[in-house]
């Protein structure tokens, strides 16, 4: 399947200015971009004339618990401890089908805001994987692992089962391991997970230093010894100890900043500039819909821009959405030959994005990526002009509400 997207305006990478041209997609990958006026059109199976529209790489949301759309608005206005108590109680009532529909809702929300890939940590992750399969987005999934009630081996086993069943599915679904945090996982548990991760050659993701009191609960040198920092997405990192950047700088990591969730739960503001200055690979995540409550990752980028004020440039910000997570996971985040064809087509001629002369600024500082018209993942259109091509969203929303009601009643 060879597709030509012609007459587009495109921003091909984090540091590129908008240019007019064509994008060629073949076998799920970007086969090339050019600025020619005359393309030989008979060599293509599909030609889309996208005059007036902007094509950009798909954004990546590097931390969420996507099925928490079920609990959106349940415990708003509570500080972290009381919020968590409420959520943990609600989560004991979860079941597979509710997670499936909630994941369809959450992934749909991300797609509608120009996001083509996300990293997840939750339970019933098999149901999340089925939703990802059905809607067509790209995902990096983990089973949340805690080591608090003797159920550690069972949870690790479940994570491994999901790995065996889904890792590599359609070249879109990848499975890693999700130890929740060092205050819910012992060092022994982290060591075990790190060992399995290495054997299976995949990634881990873990919440780290989300709250100020975590500084007294565990130390970087102990964490480092467990091996958990290899191929790891470190989430939050709002209150890092002094040796944090030095230690993580020695490993293959990606930090996921979630400023909206941190501020909403009263945990503070991540030291974004310190990380940027030290060259730490950065990305943004929304966290779950119970603590944000939006899954639009562009809003997180907007907040990072505000935190940094005049000390950051647009390329550094776009890199957090495209380049850094793209590099961490492979060849993603650019419209460039050989990269995955995960892209978003936007109508930039909406009030939030004009004047077009400052389009890059407007995309970041409006907190929305214009009006998303089409979304492609791995060379396949999954969203076209307000409709999902693979799922009936009206039906999904109806089912979703039924499950929310059932969870509220118990």
> Is 125 or 287 the residue whose CB approaches Zn ion more closely?
287
> Is 61 or 362 the residue whose CB approaches Zn ion more closely?
61
> Is 106 or 348 the residue whose CB approaches Zn ion more closely?
106
Beta strand 387-388 pairing with 115-122: unpaired
Using CB under 5 A, which of the segments 24-32, 172-180, 282-290, 373-381 binds Zn ion?
282-290
> Is 178 or 367 the residue whose CB approaches Zn ion more closely?
178
Burial of residue 242 (number of CB atoms within 10 Å: 0-12, 13-18, 19+): exposed
Interhelix angle 187-200/152-166, nearest 10 degrees: 20
Query: Residue 407 and residue 34: Cα distance in Å, rounded?
Result: 52
Using CB under 5 A, which of the segments 24-32, 239-247, 286-294, 310-318 binds Zn ion?
286-294
Nearest alpha carbon to residue 108 among 141, 131, 140, 142 = 131
> Is 210 or 340 the residue whose CB approaches Zn ion more closely?
210
Does position 214 bind Zn ion by CB under 5 A? no
Closest distance to Zn ion from the beta carbon of 334 (Å):
27
Using CB under 5 A, which of the segments 19-27, 138-146, 287-295, 363-371 binds Zn ion?
287-295
Closest distance to Zn ion from the beta carbon of 286 (Å):
9
Using CB under 5 A, which of the segments 177-185, 281-289, 337-345, 400-408 binds Zn ion?
281-289
What's the token pair of residue 181? 């945090």
Secondary element (H or E) of residue 24: strand 19-26
Closest distance to Zn ion from the beta carbon of 332 (Å):
22
What's the token pair of residue 111? 């797609």
Closest distance to Zn ion from the beta carbon of 368 (Å):
23
CA dihedral 122, 123, 126, 129 (to 10 degrees): -20
β-bridge mates for residue 24, sequence order? 4, 32
Closest distance to Zn ion from the beta carbon of 65 (Å):
6
Using CB under 5 A, which of the segments 91-99, 170-178, 280-288, 304-312 binds Zn ion?
280-288
Judged by CB under 5 A, the number of residues near Zn ion is 1
Nearest-CB residue for Zn ion: 287
CA 275 to chain centre: 19
Closest distance to Zn ion from the beta carbon of 285 (Å):
8
Phi/psi of residue 380, nearest 5 degrees: -120, 135
Does position 287 bind Zn ion by CB under 5 A? yes
Half-sphere exposure (CA, 13 Å, Cβ side) for 10? 24
> Is 83 or 339 the residue whose CB approaches Zn ion more closely?
83
Closest distance to Zn ion from the beta carbon of 405 (Å):
25
Residue ranges in contact with Zn ion by CB under 5 A: 287
């Amino acid at each position: 399947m060879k597709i030509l997207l012609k007459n587009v305006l495109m921003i091909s990478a984090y540091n590129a200015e908008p240019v007019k041209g064509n994008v060629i997609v073949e076998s799920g990958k970007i086969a090339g971009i050019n600025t020619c006026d005359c393309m030989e059109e008979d060599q293509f199976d599909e030609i889309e004339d996208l005059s007036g529209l902007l094509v950009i790489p798909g954004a990546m949301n590097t931390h969420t618990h996507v099925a928490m759309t079920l609990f959106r608005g349940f415990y708003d206005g509570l500080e972290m401890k009381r919020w968590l108590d409420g959520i943990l109680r609600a989560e004991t009532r979860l079941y597979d089908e509710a997670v499936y529909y909630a994941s369809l809702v959450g992934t749909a929300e991300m797609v509608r805001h120009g996001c083509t890939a996300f990293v997840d940590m939750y339970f019933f992750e098999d149901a999340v994987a089925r939703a990802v399969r059905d809607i067509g987005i790209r995902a990096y999934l983990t089973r949340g692992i805690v080591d608090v009630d003797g159920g550690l081996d069972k949870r690790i086993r479940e994570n491994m089962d999901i790995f065996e069943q889904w890792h590599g599915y359609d070249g879109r679904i990848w499975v890693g391991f999700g130890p929740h945090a060092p205050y819910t996982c012992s060092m022994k548990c982290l060591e075990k997970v790190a060992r399995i991760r290495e054997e299976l050659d995949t990634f881990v993701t873990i919440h780290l230093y989300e709250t100020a009191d975590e500084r007294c609960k565990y130390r970087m040198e102990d964490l480092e010894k467990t091996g958990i920092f290899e191929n790891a997405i470190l989430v939050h990192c709002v209150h890092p100890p002094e040796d944090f950047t030095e230690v993580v700088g020695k490993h293959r990591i990606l930090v996921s900043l979630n400023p909206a969730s941190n501020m909403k739960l009263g945990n503070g503001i991540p030291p974004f500039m310190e990380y940027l200055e030290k060259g730490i690979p950065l990305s943004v995540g929304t966290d779950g819909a119970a603590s944000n409550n939006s899954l639009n990752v562009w809003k997180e980028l907007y907040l990072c821009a505000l935190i940094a004020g005049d000390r950051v440039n647009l390329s550094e910000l776009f890199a957090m959405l495209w380049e850094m997570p793209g590099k961490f996971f492979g060849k993603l985040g650019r419209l460039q030959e050989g990269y995955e064809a995960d892209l978003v087509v936007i109508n930039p001629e909406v009030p939030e994005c004009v004047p077009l002369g400052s389009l890059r600024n407007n995309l970041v500082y409006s907190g929305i990526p214009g009006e998303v018209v089409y979304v492609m993942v791995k060379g396949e259109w999954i969203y076209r002009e307000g409709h999902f091509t693979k799922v009936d969203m009206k039906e999904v929303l109806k089912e979703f509400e039924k499950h929310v009601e059932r969870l509220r009643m118990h």
